A and B are shown apart, each in its own frame.
Chain A
Amino acid sequence: MSDPESHRLTRDDVAHVASLALLELTEAELDEFAGQLSAVLEHAKDIDALDVGDVAPTHHPYPLHNVFRPDVVTSADVREQALAMAPEAEDGQFRVPPALGEEP
């Protein structure tokens, strides 16, 4: 992959990232997205130039720690409603194509 200094994504970079994200792109999309995503990363060069090594990162804007609740079941049983929304269900479970290999 391209190095972070350049901030330019190639078509191959875009294809690799799309594959990681379980997306398929057309040839035209690969070209279009390479340019558009590079432009956003180029814009981010402004923060690259900052020296923030001694600044702590913020992951969460409100300081909450260790949120506990009593260990009792509170959620409703919505199994039937959930399965009714499934693309495919069988015997009370979600049905999917084979996990490995070609379909028999």
Chain B
Amino acid sequence: MSVPSTATEIAAAVSSGSVSASDVVESHLAAIDARESEIHAFNTVTADQARATAADIDARVAAGESVGPLAGVPVALKDNMCTNGIATTCSSKILEGWEPPYDATVVERLREAGAVIVGKTNLDEFAMGSSTENSAFGPSRNPLDTSKVPGGSSGGSAAAVAAGFAPLSIGSDTGGSIRQPAALCGVVGMKPTYGAVSRYGLIAFASSLDQIGPFAKNVTDAATMFEVIAGHDPRDSTSIPEPAADVHTKLNAGVEGLRVGVITELMGEGQLQGFEPEVIAQTRAAADALAAAGATVGEVSVPSVIYGLSAYYQIAPAEASSNLARYDGVRYGHRAPGGANTAAMMKASRTAGFGAEVKRRIMLGTYALSAGYYDAFYGKAQRVRTLIIDELAAAYQNFDVLLSPTSPCVAFPIGAVSDPLTMYLNDTCTIPSNLAGHPAISVPFGTGAGDLPVGVQILAPLQGEAVMFQAAAALEAAAPGGQS
């Protein structure tokens, strides 16, 4: 039997013994060998460990053990998730060579579920970016067109799934870093409710916004992975003290009677500009497809989402400037030689270790938090955050889920966007869910300019993953070209 392509099929085949986990791993390592030099999805490929894990799984299957819902499924991890004894770099020179002494909770849970870790994927340094061009180790490339970016910051994880290097990968999403690259690479990417997935072992960027989530070839696989990684973890004090939500029971229930609200401010006709017309057309087609499938579709205004970008670029850098203060050359990572005293050593180490975008964000945050400016910038941004939460709550009085484009544009050429603020505008549609802590998912829906994929975003209220996946599955079934 040949190796199937989706996680659900692989886990079923490995569990039944019809395909060995070793054959699954070899076929994916062969795919990596064939195209990785061109794509650069990975910072590290863990081939030897993957083969050993697969052999262990095959032995357990032969012994009649039940291995788990991801039995033998290759998984790629964004390189900001700690892996015991395996380099974890955040695509930064400041952590080059560092090997964590522990596994992140998501890594533990994936291993317990029978997953096979195949490597650590490239990202914008410390997850700051929307193209993976900010990596200290060079950009990743979009497998659908290698002259284009894969999006970011989890570009390597998106590219790994799109290229067939792994059917599942893990990313982190602070302002859209899972959903935007998923859209640009034509795969499914999902950001859970803040606190649904433990952040223990995720290297912090902006702690009130960061959340870990899945990339997959299809909605069902993403739902399976979400259930594996979600649920309370006492090692993360922001972890919601509840078990993982069941998102499978209603997954194929359809959308008959479901109320879907299209966010008018994110459809390119208001103050927010820069949306590609093909992206808007596909988003409208997606709304029509859900209506044809039985949903009640309407328009809804969430006026303050237009302020999301400004609020985000105060809050996220402020939290980052605090979180990244720990990289000082004392305990781990890069230390610059020759510092005459501790302060000089720290300054030299940080200056040599961080790239330009990380420095910009640290400085923005330091400025926003400095005396005399706190109320004007950070304080105001935190109040705007409340406005967005309140308006979304009002929208959910009348709608079960909301809909928008994921990204205002399809994948753009590598090197095309050099101005930081222009790059930040890629996050316009994804940021509101991070500010509110709500779940959201990007589902491929048709193509735009250059035949490149368009992603449509489904947003749901706090802990609304079940209805979000339900709508996403219906959208996937209705997508042009019939997604699997």
A positions within 8 Å CB-CB of B: 1, 4, 9, 13-14, 17-18, 20-25, 29, 33, 36-37, 39-41, 43-48, 50, 52, 55-62, 64, 67, 69, 76, 78, 81-82, 85-88, 94, 96-103
Q: How far is the CA of A47 from the CA of B315 in the complex (A)?
A: 13
Q: Is the CB of B420 within 8 A of A14?
A: no
User: Quick check: B387 and A55 within 8 Å, CB to CB?
Assistant: yes
Contacts of B364 in A (CB 8 A): 37, 40-41
A76 and B102: CB pair below 8 A? Answer: yes
7 contacts between A and B (CB under 8 A): A4-B377, A17-B370, A43-B421, A56-B383, A58-B389, A94-B330, A94-B331
Segment of B34-42, B156-164, B336-344 engaged in the interface with chain A: B336-344
Is the C-beta of B462 less than 8 angstroms from some C-beta in chain A?
Answer: yes
Q: Mark the stretch among B11-19, B67-75, B347-355, B441-449 that contacts chain A.
A: B347-355
Please tell me if the beta carbons of A21 and B313 are within 8 angstroms of each other in the complex: no
Which residues from 359 to 377 on chain B have a C-beta closer than 8 Å to any C-beta of chain A? 359-360, 362-364, 366-367, 370, 372-373, 376-377
Judging by beta carbons under 8 Å apart, are A97 and B234 in contact?
A: no
Which residues of B are interface residues toward A (Cβ below 8 A)?
Answer: 98-99, 101-102, 193-195, 208, 234, 237-238, 240-241, 306-307, 309-311, 313-314, 321, 325, 328-335, 339-348, 350-351, 354, 356, 359-360, 362-364, 366-367, 370, 372-373, 376-377, 379-387, 389, 419-421, 424, 435-438, 462
Are A58 and B385 closer than 8 Å at their CB atoms? Answer: yes
Taking the closest CB of chain B, its distance from the CB of A72, in whole angstroms, is 11
Is there an interface contact between A82 and B101, defined as CB atoms closer than 8 Å?
yes
* Chain A residues within an 8 Å CB radius of B98: 85
Contacts of B335 in A (CB 8 A): 87-88
Residues of A within 8 Å of B379, CB to CB, are 57
Contacts of B389 in A (CB 8 A): 58, 61
A contact residues around B385 at 8 Å (CB): 57-58
Known A-B contacts A24-B348, A60-B238, A103-B341; the reply to A37 vs B367 at CB < 8 A is yes
Q: Which A residues lie within 8 Å of B325 (CB)?
A: 22
Bound state CA distance, A103 and B344, in angstroms? 11
